[in-house]
Amino acid sequence: MTDQSIKIIDLKYARKFYIYIILVLFAFNTSAMASERIQLIPQKGSHQFPFFDQPTPVWHYNGQMPGPMIKGKVGSTLKVEVINRLDEPTSVHWHGMRIDNAMDGVPGVTQDPIQPGETFIYQLKLIEAGTFWYHPHLTAGEQMERGLKGVLIVEPLEKLPWSQDLVWLLDDWRLQKDGTIYPHFNTGHDLMHDGRWGNVVTVNGKWKPTYFASPGERIRLRLINGANARVFLPSLDGLDASLIAVDGKPVTTIFPFTQFYLAPGNRIDLDITIPIDAAGKTFTFSDSFTRKGFPLAAIKVNDEKPTQTPILNIPTAGNYIPATLFNKVDAAKVWDLNALRGGQYGIGWAINQKLWPDADAGNLKIGQPQKVVFKNSSSRLHPMHIHGAFFRVLEKNNRSAVEPFTRDTVLVGPRESITIGLIPEHNGIWLTHCHIQSHADAGMITTITVD
């Protein structure tokens, strides 16, 4: 073989190699940009609770309780085709997600209601990883109570390092003796108090479920409060945990988990280490918000040999929406939260004396830091939620109380006032409301226009 022929062969390989590289790049690129198509079908069905002989009639997505867990990767677009098989109009809102305003799922604001038999396609561009959830935004006090809700997880491009990614959607139900759902929604009592609290608490639709882990294992646990009104204060039975994300966004600094008021709409992600000497043990997670605490779920540690606890590099959000940015912003908007006579139920819940739909909190400029005070003039709870944005808690009752994370929902206690800082980043008309569905149905909704 001459030198010449060797070169020719080399070149041939080189060309093949280039084509190979191009193909790989193409495949990677298309998978990262892939748009996945999913169907979500709100419909009537049933769910078996352990206490009753017959299943309970519920409304759910795709016949599943909770709805299917939707997963997608950052950079991709999800196409969710919602086919309404209920007898009434509905919509789907993607709680906490920053997406095109037209995809936000709010009838009367961002779209028309999806009528029975109609289909609406939501296109969700996934711009950040995190724990989100979805639920209707129409007659939500009833539709969510009957069971319509589910979790949406946006995954980072790299594989999550935890050996288990547990997702617990917390919820409560008001069930009657025969197992059916108490059919009066937004009763006078619910409206005057903290909304509709159920008598059965579930995790992923199950009553006190048990999950399994190995000694030494590191787990990511995502807790989502999907209840209509109930606040949870989860405790972990002595397990070591760090708070790594709040409302879908990584915390700015990771710190040990002590307590968190998980109000309707809130999510927290925890990094939990199972002790290496815990073989055979059961850890019971309970709720301690109400005087009489109760178990939510358990993690049972199997008898396997301990695995070595991995050391993980957990991402943080750095100094996202830094509190110092708001030092020079002096004029805060005050949103007064209080009860008011009027509205369709006679008892209304108002923001600045206005009841939805006659409410509008005005315009905010994109990119401009804003301070808002949620001033609770009532003696009830109001978990206030802003669509399409994260914000940072700066003050409680006019005292500095900067949180090391951002949120999309904050619990404002009786007579409490909470000052938040936000930087509007996305154009559109975004809803702001109390996430106690009965309060929202009774008027506690307004909009902010970001332009």
Specify whether the CB–CB gap between 415 and 353 falls below 8 A: no
Tokens of 307: 């695995």
Q: Around 393, how many Cα atoms within 13 Å sit in the side-chain half-sphere?
A: 25
**Where does this chain bind ligand C2O (CB under 6 A)?**
93, 95, 135, 137, 265, 385, 387, 431, 433, 435
Residue 431 near which of Cu ion, ligand C2O, none (CB within 5-8 Å, type-dependent): ligand C2O
Residue 407 near which of ligand C2O, Cu ion, none (CB within 5-8 Å, type-dependent): none
- Beta carbon nearer to ligand C2O, 133 or 168: 133
Give the closest residue to 150 by CA, choosing from 61, 227, 72.
61
Residue 436 near which of Cu ion, ligand C2O, none (CB within 5-8 Å, type-dependent): Cu ion
In degrees to the nearest 10, what's the CA dihedral of 203, 152, 160, 307?
A: 10
Residue 338 DSSP code:
E
Question: How many Å separate Cα 358 from the centre of its chain?
Answer: 27
- Beta carbon nearer to ligand C2O, 137 or 371: 137
Residue 47 near which of Cu ion, ligand C2O, none (CB within 5-8 Å, type-dependent): none
Q: Which long-range contacts (CB under 8 A, 24 or more apart) does 2-7 make?
A: none
Tokens of 159: 């594989």
Residue 256 DSSP code:
E
- Beta carbon nearer to Cu ion, 249 or 439: 439
Specify whether the CB–CB gap between 426 and 388 falls below 8 A: yes
Binding window for Cu ion (CB under 5 A); candidates: 18-26, 211-219, 405-413, 433-441 = 433-441
- Beta carbon nearer to ligand C2O, 60 or 439: 439
Residue showing the smallest CB distance to ligand C2O in the complex? 95
Q: Output the smallest distance, CB 302 to ligand C2O, in A.
A: 36
Per rule CB under 5 A, is residue 439 in the interface with Cu ion?
Answer: yes
Size of the site for Cu ion (CB under 5 A): 4
Q: Output the smallest distance, CB 87 to ligand C2O, in A.
A: 23
- Beta carbon nearer to ligand C2O, 239 or 389: 389
Specify whether the CB–CB gap between 229 and 438 falls below 8 A: yes
Specify whether the CB–CB gap between 237 and 293 falls below 8 A: no
Per rule CB under 5 A, is residue 230 in the interface with Cu ion?
Answer: no
Q: Output the smallest distance, CB 195 to Cu ion, in A.
A: 7
Residue 146 near which of ligand C2O, Cu ion, none (CB within 5-8 Å, type-dependent): none
> Rule CB under 5 A: which of 336-395 touch Cu ion?
382
H/E run at residue 349 = strand 347-351
Residue with token string 């802003």: 386
Euclidean distance between CA atoms 351 and 200, whole angstroms: 31
Q: Output the smallest distance, CB 142 to ligand C2O, in A.
A: 15
Tokens of 324: 């110092």
Q: Output the smallest distance, CB 162 to ligand C2O, in A.
A: 26
Q: Output the smallest distance, CB 48 to ligand C2O, in A.
A: 27
Binding window for Cu ion (CB under 5 A); candidates: 49-57, 221-229, 296-304, 430-438 = 430-438
Specify whether the CB–CB gap between 364 and 393 falls below 8 A: no
Binding site for Cu ion (CB under 5 A): 382, 434, 436, 439
